[in-house]
Amino acid sequence: MFVCTLLTDPAHPSLNPAMADALRNAWGGRDVQWLAVDEAAAFTLPAIPDNRWEVWGDMQDHGVDLVVLPFEGRRKRMLIADMDSTMIQQECIDELADVAGVGDRVKEITARAMNGELDFEAAIVERVGLLAGLPESVIADVLRDRITMTPGGATLLATMKADGAYAALVSGGFTAFTSSVAADLGFDENRANTLLSSGGILTGEVGMPILGQQAKVDALEEITTRLSLGDSDVLAVGDGANDLGMLHRAGIGVALHAKPSVAAQCDVRVNFGDLTALLFLQGYARSEFIEG
């Protein structure tokens, strides 16, 4: 048995009963369950339809995300999440680079690395090198003035943790940011790269080894082993090429507002919903959400 979930932007909901009912009827599904009025609905069906991606494209034109998943085991016992452009709305290194006066150059490298056009580790080294001489105190300023949480993140964490789930923030960014974001949102642990400094000044070097795509997969393996969980118990979310390993490994791997080249490699794509979409995908109704 499978479940089809339809999602839209909660700030501008565009999902109507006629749309959900028409798809349910076309695919021979059972009764539509509304997880949130005009925002999220789900119905079960016996098999994955052959025209899933054709219909997905049609739904995208209406501002609706469509996801088909196995019905059993939807509620996950662990969340592993990327940080930049996932749990937060910015790329931290880009914000630091703006302050350092090298924003355009670093943003170009970041975009290419997240699209998978550049080696991630080499791109980190190059970008961090451009930050040499920046006062370490700027990190706190960037956190305070430039970093905003992605809508729905605190609710995602609070709801899953209230149901007994473990949450890990695993980023190709930097511990100076993940430690703050993890504390604010309620993650149980965080892993990231380290910006090196001397005398309160960034040296332009990053601590080794660099946490990239394989390190995220390793983190998933290490944490699930420690908690006696399996890959199928994990919900992973990210947006860049360095997230693909963990997205493919997890029971549910969500490409959230991902780069097109990344989304094309994932079966679960959320382009309109916020982070509460990850709760709807697990079968939670909005009435079950716990505000973080």
CA 168 to chain centre: 12
Indicate which residue of 9, 21, 50, 84 is catalytic: 84
DSSP letters of 16-70?
A: -HHHHHHHHHHHT----EEEETTTEEEEEESS--TTHHHHHHHHHHTTEEEEEEE
User: The tokens 């998933």 sit on which residue?
Assistant: 220
82 catalytically annotated: yes
Indicate which residue of 9, 21, 38, 82 is catalytic: 82
Instruction: Report which DSSP code applies to 118.
Output: S
Interatomic CA distance for residues 117 and 133, integer angstroms: 28
* β-bridge mates for residue 174, sequence order: 193
Q: What are the C-alpha distances in Å from 238 to residues 1, 95, 171, 244, 277?
A: 27, 19, 9, 8, 13
9 catalytically annotated: no
Positive or negative CA dihedral for 147, 255, 257, 243? positive
* Residues labelled catalytic: 82, 84
